[in-house]
A and B are shown apart, each in its own frame.
Chain A
Amino acid sequence: MRHEEISGSVPSLIFPRQTLVSLLVFAVCWEALSHLAPLLGIPPFAIPSLLRIAKSIATITPVDIAVTLARVIGALIASFVLGLALAMAMYRSERLEKYLHPMIRILMAVPVVSWILFAVLWFPGVEFRIGFVLVVVCGPVFLVDTLDAMRSVPRELRHMMRSFRPTTWQYFFKLMLPAIVPTVFTSWKVNISLAIRVVTIAELVGAVTGIGHQLSVAQELFSVADVFAWTLVLVALLFLLEAMVSRVEARVLRWRA
């Protein structure tokens, strides 16, 4: 037995020194700029001080964060299930793949803003609009990633598995699905980032709750501090979700060298 230590890629929550230094430098520059703004002819509200931003952060309503988070997670789960089911069907049927592939390409080429406009015109319910936009944007990414991963399962493993004569379900559940797990995690990380950005835009239009709505309110009030605060929340949310996925990934993929 090779005495190799399994070096899991468990993400560390301790920031490296370089990250802290660069964040500190950015904060100092921002603070300096906020004080120098009037001298430079920039309106004071455009570059608020760190204290003003901190005050905005203190007023953030957790319910809006929770709503946005629920929308993102719900839509990602729906997108994943839909994408995976379609990928499995397309892997099984070459004919289906030939019919669906052009549609998927077209879906992926449509800009997010167009989807939002379609959603506003087609659906009356706000939640359905946001869910629709998220699923239609993230679903194809999951589909394409999982289908590619299925096709990349080594021929040797497929050959070995088939030699033991599995049923179709056994073939999928004992070979294909475990084999695509690493790609699925990568796809989740990509889609979390995508979903956070898309949900913000979708919430700008018509929503009365959520981070996107709060950003819209901040924009109407010319409150750059609030915009900054909510943006920080979005970034923190993204990092938190990615860290959670990475933790699960490290645990599930501990078999990797």
Chain B
Amino acid sequence: MNRRISGPPPIIVRGLRKVFRQATTGQPVVAIDRLDLIIAPKEVVAIVGQTGCGKSTFFDLMIGLDAPSEGSIHIGDRSPHADFDYFRGRIATVFQQDRLLPWRSALDNAKLPLELIGLSEDEQRERALTWLNRLGLGQFTNAYPHELSGGMRQRVAIARAFSVQPDILLADEAFGHLDEVTAAELRETFLALARECGSTAILITHQLEEAISVGDRIIVFGKSAKLLADIHVAHWPKKKYALLREAIQSTLQTNRPDPRLGHASSKTRSSPRKRGPRKNTQAQP
């Protein structure tokens, strides 16, 4: 079942603010301070930032588990928080840890979101098996999470997210805890599947390498999710990736946009990168 007819809607973030109160002192803490952002349909966006910059708060707001203190997030013309149930099966998440239910087999874990949207048992099974097979877990469908390696568990979590063929895929440091080889392999798989499904994907990461290798865009958050840079990776030739990495690193360290990021930092809208290998024909920074 694919409810999507005309592709995923754009994500529009306007004046987003999130303030928490400290449990002990009652002092307000601004996690996100007036963030404006537009993410085009089918775009793959990597959000980078230092620990505590508001990435995970943004993630929760995107999922709709939290309400903004001010401003709004709209996916199409609906809010993921106010229209919470509408997005059942339309937003899927992959977390840092696999977060599989330990009492369910790999197959049953992959079926979970399909059960929630009320598909028939046969369709649940067929779809979950298809995704597990695609992720190379065809032999382990009956294995329990404790019987699988970390990489395999994360594959099940990815299969679980893709099984509903969501409009929006959110990944919160989904590959950060894996060894580099497994992480690179899973990143590739994730990206290929996201493009194939035509989903908009937002990956939150603290690894610049991951952001550069995966994202059409890299959004750099400073303190309180201040938008420091909005980089269109396609504008950077592959041979200048080292420079890009340095510039982002410098931006993160100084909490100020690095001049080397140039005009790309000022953009807030873009079109998704075309499928296939990146072409280095865009304007150079």
Most buried by A among B115, B149, B152: B115
A1 to B146 Cα, complex, angstroms = 9
Closest residue to A181 on the B side, CB-wise? B103
Within 8 A of A (CB), among B106-123: 112-113, 115-116
B112 touches A255 (CB 8 A): no
Stretch at the interface among B94-102, B178-186, B275-283: B94-102
Query: Could you say which residues of chain A place their CB within 8 Å of the CB of B87?
Result: 165
Please tell me if the beta carbons of A1 and B88 are within 8 angstroms of each other in the complex.
no
| Residue in B65, B112, B113 whose CB lies within 8 Å of A162 | B65
- Which residue in B64, B93, B143, B152 is a CB contact (below 8 Å) of A160? B93
Known contacts A157-B101, A181-B103: A1-B116 contact under CB 8 Å: no
List chain A residues, Cβ under 8 A from B147.
1-2, 4, 6
On chain B, the residues within 8 Å of A4 by CB distance are 146-147
Give the complex CA separation of A132 and B176 in angstroms: 56
Contact string, A235-257, partner B, CB cutoff 8 A, digits 1/0?
A: 00000000000000000010111
Chain A residues, Cβ within 8 Å of B115: 170, 174
- Could you tell me the distance between the alpha carbons of A2 and B113 in the complex, rounded to whole angstroms? 26
Which residue of chain A lies nearest to B84 when distances are taken between CB atoms in the complex?
A165
Q: Note all chain B residues with C-beta closer than 8 A to A166.
A: 116
Given contacts A164-B88, A164-B112, A165-B87, contact A178 B146 (CB under 8 A): no
Decide if A88 is an interface residue (CB 8 Å cutoff).
Answer: no
Q: Are A255 and B92 in contact (CB under 8 A)?
A: no
- Judging by beta carbons under 8 Å apart, are B152 and A1 in contact? yes
B111-145 vs A, Cβ < 8 Å mask (1 yes, 0 no):
01101100000000000000000000000100110
Q: Does B85 contact A (CB under 8 A)?
A: yes
- Give the chain B neighbours of A156 by CB distance below 8 A: 95, 97, 99
Given A165-B84, A255-B146: A160 touches B95 (CB 8 Å cut-off): yes
Q: Does A159 contact B (CB under 8 A)?
A: yes
Distance in angstroms from A252 CB to nearest chain B CB is 9
Question: Within 8 Å of chain B (Cβ to Cβ): is A175?
Answer: yes
Contact B95 A1 (CB under 8 A): no
Assess A175 versus B103: contact at CB under 8 Å? Given A164-B88, A164-B112: no
Whether, in the assembled complex, B29 has its beta carbon less than 8 Å from a beta carbon of chain A, the answer is no
Interface pair A257/B116, CB less than 8 Å apart:
no
Residues of A within 8 A of B85 (CB): 165
Asked whether, in the complex, the Cβ of A1 is within 8 Å of the Cβ of B65, the reply is no
Task: State how many angstroms separate the Cβ of B26 from the closest Cβ of chain A.
Answer: 20
- Whether A163 sits at the interface, judged by CB under 8 Å, is yes
B149 touches A178 (CB 8 A): no
Q: Determine if B88 and A165 form an interchain contact, defined as CB atoms under 8 angstroms apart.
A: yes
A1 touches B103 (CB 8 A): no
B112 to A: closest C-beta gap in Å:
7
Interchain nearest-CB distance for A21 vs B (Å): 37
State in angstroms the CA–CA spacing of A219 and B275 once bound together. Answer: 87
- B148: Cβ under 8 A from any A Cβ: yes
What CA separation (Å) do A181 and B102 show in the bound complex? 12
Query: Nearest A residue to B144 by beta-carbon distance?
Result: A255
Is B63 an interface position by the 8 A CB rule? yes
Cα–Cα, bound, A157→B85 (Å): 19
Task: Give A170's nearest chain B residue, CB to CB.
Answer: B116
When distances are taken between beta carbons in the complex, the residues of chain B under 8 Å from A159 are 65, 95, 99
CB distance from B97 to the nearest CB of A (A): 6
Smallest beta-carbon distance B116→chain A, Å = 5
Bound Cα distance from A160 to B156, whole angstroms = 14
Candidates A164, A181, A255, A257; contact of B113 at CB < 8 Å: A164
Q: Are the CB atoms of A157 and B149 closer together than 8 Å?
A: no
Residue in A4, A157, A160, A256 whose Cβ sees the most chain B Cβ within 10 Å: A160
In the complex, which residue of chain A has the Cβ closest to the Cβ of B88?
A: A165
What's the minimum C-beta distance from B249 to chain A, rounded to whole angstroms?
30
Task: List 16 other contacts, CB 8 Å, given A1-B148, A165-B88, A181-B103.
Answer: A2-B146, A2-B149, A4-B147, A156-B97, A157-B101, A159-B65, A160-B95, A163-B63, A163-B91, A163-B93, A164-B92, A164-B93, A167-B116, A178-B101, A179-B101, A179-B103
Q: 14 pairs across A/B with beta carbons < 8 Å? A: A1-B143, A1-B149, A159-B95, A162-B65, A163-B65, A164-B93, A164-B116, A165-B87, A170-B116, A178-B103, A255-B102, A255-B103, A255-B105, A256-B146
Interface residues in chain A, defined as those with a beta carbon under 8 Å from any beta carbon in chain B: 1-2, 4, 6, 156-157, 159-160, 162-167, 170, 174-175, 178-179, 181, 253, 255-257
Report the 9 A-B pairs with minimum CB-CB distance, sorted nearest first.
Answer: A165-B88, A160-B99, A257-B146, A163-B93, A255-B144, A255-B103, A164-B113, A163-B63, A178-B103
